[in-house]
Structure 1
Amino acid sequence: MKNIFTIVLFLTALNFYGQDNKVSFLNLVGNNIQVPRGCEAVSEYELQACNGTSIKWDYYTDDMLSAVFDATISAFAEGSAAKTEVKFTSFGSELKGFKFKTGNTYQFFLRGTIKDQPLMINLGTPNDIASEDDLDGFLSLFFDKVG
């Protein structure tokens, strides 16, 4: 009987831990966004390998957000010549930041508050985003307006 119990426990554990823990929804301050087909979510806060575009966000306190954002912009600006101010709107909240062009890639660093939660968004894409028309299919799930 003890051997049967051990075998059942072992098979249950194998089944539980052997399951694919694929993330199917992203969580942007309580807004659930389905991971697009053909894309890969690293966590519910980071999407990579989606038609060459990656997006990630981190939550902070107001004080920490300013410090981390300023340090990130300073570090990134050292290796890049072109820095442009940008504004995006996400779930009705304005996000401000900078766009950098490095080679064939555009890197956007945005900061703001959505639903009273300060956050920083890091967006890397091969496409320049200057207006809503430039938001490809899945980026339009994150952003309402550009400019």
Structure 2
Amino acid sequence: MKNIFTLVLLLSTLSFYGQDKKVSFLNLVGNNIQVPSGCEAQSEYEMQACDGTSIKWDYYTDDMLSAVFDATISAFAESNSSKTEVTFTSFGEQLKGYKFKMGTTYQYFLKGKIKDQALMINLGTPKDISKTDDLDGFLSLFFDEAS
């Protein structure tokens, strides 16, 4: 009986401590953004399939940002001719990049600096964002303006 109790205690401890901690806030260069209800973040830097929209960002040095961004855009442009320049504003900072139409969705790659931190944002959404009014829902938590 003692062995059974020990085994149950051990298994319950492992299951309790082995659970992943749910991410409640995204961290965009120190700006905390609450994960919307019904959505789930993969990490503090990535949210997948929230109302059909996914967003992820990576931090780089200035030199690395240009190299990674250019390589990403070149790879997408090879297989997709719908490349359009876009500009977004996030937390008062301008981010420039490109939009690609991919079937029924749009892929946005943006680069710039927020709080002097170089970053690239990868946004996939069914929305064609061409003006600020298109930034509804949780996208308005990330971006102030779009053009």
TM-score normalised by L of structure 2:
0.90
Which amino acid is the alignment partner of residue 114 of structure 1? I
C-alpha separation in 1, matches of 2:134 and 2:15: 46
CA deviation map 1:90-131 (0-9, x unaligned):
000000000011111110000000001000000000110011
Matched-pair identity in % = 76
> What is aligned with 1:49?
49
Pick closer, same or farther for the CA change 1:7–1:55 going to 2, 3 Å: same
Taking only aligned residues, the RMSD between alpha carbons, in angstroms, comes to 1.7
> What is aligned with 1:124?
124
Alignment of 1:1-147 (within 5 A): 10=10, 12-17=13-18, 19-147=19-147
TM-score normalised by L of structure 1:
0.90
Which amino acid is the alignment partner of residue 39 of structure 2? C
Pick closer, same or farther for the CA change 1:106–1:16 going to 2, 3 Å: same
C-alpha separation in 1, matches of 2:14 and 2:82: 53
What displacement does 1:49 show? Answer: 1.1
Gaps of at least 5 residues in structure 1 are none
Task: Report the secondary structure of 2:16's partner residue.
Answer: helix
C-alpha separation in 2, matches of 1:31 and 1:12: 34
C-alpha separation in 2, matches of 1:30 and 1:67: 24
Q: Which range is displaced more, 33-42 or 52-61?
A: 33-42
What displacement does 1:132 show? Answer: 1.4
What displacement does 1:81 show? Answer: 1.0
